[in-house]
A and B are shown apart, each in its own frame.
Chain A
Amino acid sequence: MRENIIELKNVKKTYYLGEVNVSVLHGIDLEIAQGEFVMIMGNSGSGKSTLLNILGLLDKATSGYFKLAGIDVSTFKDDELSALRNHYLGFVFQQFHLLPKLSSLENVALPTIYSDIKNLHSNSLAKTLLDKVGLSDRANHKPNQMSGGQQQRVAIARALINNPIVVFADEPTGNLDTKSSQEIMQILKQLNDSGITIIMVTHEPELKKYASRIITLRDGLIVNDEKNTQKVIENSDLKYKKFKKHAFSLLRFKDYCLEAGRSLIANKMRSALSILGVMIGVASLIAM
């Protein structure tokens, strides 16, 4: 019996919009074991993204019990959730969400800034990962110099840099053509083969063949949970990484400076204009 990496019991989500309450998830019970490739399907508006965001700790459930990697996260504070995400999880979004002013290498290495374990080789690791997704020759390209499929591969490499145990993908192929979709799915498949749990939302039935389990949602409830047993990978020797509650420390100060400096340099025009604004303010004060 493999350990469950995710355990949900009676998880509900309600959005409070002033007077109106929109109830999106009506009590989800779900267990996901390590090494599974889960696809969440369902009609638009059925709550797939909402569920995925809750599973990925990007959003909080209104009520219910949620255990991730053996940790009860329902009582965790924002900062602790951030650290958990950084440590255990990787994300791939439909809109890629790469930082436009950073090169693909810098984008891939971005999560290491916020990780506890200082990875001195984050750059070479990022290079290895870019190589793995077939983009070693694009290390210095900016996102807008690459195709959607290439950007999504950079995003996958970014999701992998902290060696996650689960990767979440919300319609990762939604903005891509068939060929690029196939490439992305192949990469996700390889990751799954190496033991990483993949949880993915999709609309495309033809991608079903990659999954080991397909969950169908309708109106905030799981209406179908189908396991494709042949696809189950019995490789689960991936050990839980130890997680220490992250404490804020000024040791990161250097990182902050580097990050701030990089962001200032990356956005030269914006920085220059801001400096100009301050300059005119101060100069006019002094000239008086």
Chain B
Amino acid sequence: MISPGQPQRGGISSETGARLRFSPEDIEDLKENVAGIEYASGNISGRVQIVAHGKNYNTRLEGVSPDYEKMRNIVPIFGRFFTKEEDSERKRVALLGLTVVEKIFGSKDYNPVGEFIRVGWVDFQVIGVLPQKGYSGWRDEDDKVTTPLQTTLGRLVGEPYFNTIEAQVRADASMERVSELIVRRLLFTHRFLPTQTDAVSVRNMAEIQETMQEMSKAFSMLLGSIAFISLLVGGIGIMNIMFVSVSERTKEIGLRKAIGANNSDILFQFVIESVFICCAGGIIGILFGLLACVVVAKFTGWATSISYFSIALAFCFSVLIGLIFGVWPARKASLLNPIEALRRD
């Protein structure tokens, strides 16, 4: 469970083993009896088929408690979040993600508030549109429908149990202490022995987040160093080919000088040649690089992103290297006197 948008470290997610299942009463009970919990929300999710507007679309449905709005700082684009009453009265209201709005109503800009959608065999009224979240990894976070937890349990799932509670701890409370209290309370209310602590598991989101951040940092460092190595290898390749192709022409340079070329004549010719080679190679290289990205994206399904900065960097770097190693040997040769240059093989 990843929650990159979480404003505050301190979200807790608890999950039960097979023998302990949460019911909506647990949420209120925890908020009342465990000091230090600021918000708590149940969470249940699954795939559903929704029908509306003549369209049929498969998406993810998420049932949450009213506290979820504050925990995730949700500000709907259109409409509003559902209220505590709507949850406890199992009102058939729903908020749609942007992708769902687009798939059903044709455009992301459409305001669907007030429309009816059918989820399974139940009609829901749309009361809001969830704010855009984009992709997390390769999962489209906007491809979902959010409904009140109790409505979901009562009308779609058919039994009042679910497996996850997310809680947010007060800023001044100790995370370890609160998770201990949560486990103790849950074991107590569900009539478990205080020693059966493995019936409930508490995961600290802040810790997970930290590990994720460290991992992604290490990953981007790895990518960065690979990019640097290929920059180096590419640069050395360009160096080689330009150096060799100019060095082998020492004789030509000698002859051109003998028949009257001066040093700047020679230099200009080679600068232009190098610029041409580097630009042609650079442009074809950019096209090939982009193609490679697209192909990789196609085959692996990764969302590859190409930054203009890296294109500009690659291009400028290779043109610079090409220029230096196209012109430097030419300059060296043009400084020889023509006879010496002609004698070279």
CB interface residues, A 118-169, toward B, < 8 Å: 158, 162
B-contact bits for A261-281, CB 8 A (1 contact / 0 none): 101100000110111111111
Q: Are B281 and A276 in contact (CB under 8 A)?
A: yes
Q: Which residues of B contact A17 (CB under 8 A)?
A: none
Q: Which residues of A contact B321 (CB under 8 A)?
A: 281
Q: Which residues of B contact A162 (CB under 8 A)?
A: 260
Is A27 among interface residues, defined by CB-CB distance under 8 A?
no
Q: Are A78 and B262 in contact (CB under 8 A)?
A: yes
Q: Which residues of B contact A158 (CB under 8 A)?
A: 259
Report the separation of the CA atoms of residues A256 and B269 in the bound assembly, to the nearest whole angstrom.
5
Q: Which residues of B contact A115 (CB under 8 A)?
A: 260
The CB with the most chain A CB atoms within 10 A, among B231, B260, B278, B290, is that of: B260
Q: Are A282 and B259 in contact (CB under 8 A)?
A: no
Is B288 among interface residues, defined by CB-CB distance under 8 A?
yes
Report the separation of the CA atoms of residues A279 and B280 in the bound assembly, to the nearest whole angstrom.
8
Which bucket holds chain B's interface residue count? 35 or more
Q: Are A60 and B337 in contact (CB under 8 A)?
A: yes
A104 CB to nearest B CB, Å: 15
A93 and B342 in contact (CB under 8 A), knowing A99-B252, A286-B286? yes
Interface size for A (C-beta < 8 A) is 51
B315 CB to nearest A CB, Å: 6
A-contact bits for B273-286, CB 8 A (1 contact / 0 none): 10011101110111
Q: Are A97 and B255 in contact (CB under 8 A)?
A: yes
Q: Are B277 and A278 in contact (CB under 8 A)?
A: yes
Q: Are B292 and A278 in contact (CB under 8 A)?
A: no
A275 and B233 in contact (CB under 8 A), knowing A82-B260, A248-B264? no
Q: Are A59 and B339 in contact (CB under 8 A)?
A: yes
Is B80 among interface residues, defined by CB-CB distance under 8 A?
no
A279 and B288 in contact (CB under 8 A), knowing A58-B258, A114-B260? yes
Is A252 among interface residues, defined by CB-CB distance under 8 A?
yes
Q: Are A85 and B259 in contact (CB under 8 A)?
A: yes
Q: Which residues of A contact B240 (CB under 8 A)?
A: 277
A97 and B342 in contact (CB under 8 A), knowing A91-B258, A285-B227? yes
Is A233 among interface residues, defined by CB-CB distance under 8 A?
no
Is A20 among interface residues, defined by CB-CB distance under 8 A?
no
B270 and chain A: residue at smallest CB distance: A260
Q: Are B281 and A275 in contact (CB under 8 A)?
A: yes
B251 and chain A: residue at smallest CB distance: A97
Is A284 among interface residues, defined by CB-CB distance under 8 A?
yes
B225 and chain A: residue at smallest CB distance: A288
Q: Are B245 and A274 in contact (CB under 8 A)?
A: yes
Q: Which residues of A contact B128 (CB under 8 A)?
A: none
- B285: which of A86, A253, A278 is its contact (CB, 8 Å)? A278
Is A174 among interface residues, defined by CB-CB distance under 8 A?
no
Is A53 among interface residues, defined by CB-CB distance under 8 A?
yes
- A282: which of B254, B260, B268, B286 is its contact (CB, 8 Å)? B286
The CB with the most chain B CB atoms within 10 A, among A79, A85, A253, A277, is that of: A277
Q: Which residues of B contact A60 (CB under 8 A)?
A: 337
Is B35 among interface residues, defined by CB-CB distance under 8 A?
no
Report the separation of the CA atoms of residues A53 and B234 in the bound assembly, to the nearest whole angstrom.
43
Q: Which residues of B contact A87 (CB under 8 A)?
A: 260
- B265: which of A58, A99, A256 is its contact (CB, 8 Å)? A256
Q: Are B289 and A283 in contact (CB under 8 A)?
A: yes
Is B241 among interface residues, defined by CB-CB distance under 8 A?
yes
Q: Are B306 and A58 in contact (CB under 8 A)?
A: no
Q: Are B280 and A281 in contact (CB under 8 A)?
A: no
Q: Are A264 and B264 in contact (CB under 8 A)?
A: no
A31 CB to nearest B CB, Å: 24
CB interface residues, A 43-73, toward B, < 8 Å: 53, 58-60
Is B257 among interface residues, defined by CB-CB distance under 8 A?
yes
Report the separation of the CA atoms of residues A115 and B256 in the bound assembly, to the nearest whole angstrom.
12
The CB with the most chain A CB atoms within 10 A, among B240, B256, B273, B337, is that of: B273
Report the separation of the CA atoms of residues A253 and B267 in the bound assembly, to the nearest whole angstrom.
12
Is B314 among interface residues, defined by CB-CB distance under 8 A?
yes
B310 and chain A: residue at smallest CB distance: A286
Sampled A-B contacts (30; CB under 8 Å): A59-B337, A82-B260, A83-B260, A85-B258, A85-B260, A86-B259, A86-B260, A97-B251, A97-B255, A97-B258, A111-B259, A114-B260, A115-B260, A162-B260, A248-B264, A252-B268, A253-B268, A274-B281, A278-B282, A278-B318, A280-B237, A281-B281, A281-B321, A282-B285, A283-B285, A284-B234, A285-B313, A287-B289, A287-B292, A288-B230
Sample of 8 more A-B contacts, CB < 8 Å, known A263-B273, A274-B277, A285-B234: A82-B265, A97-B258, A114-B256, A275-B284, A279-B284, A281-B281, A287-B289, A288-B226
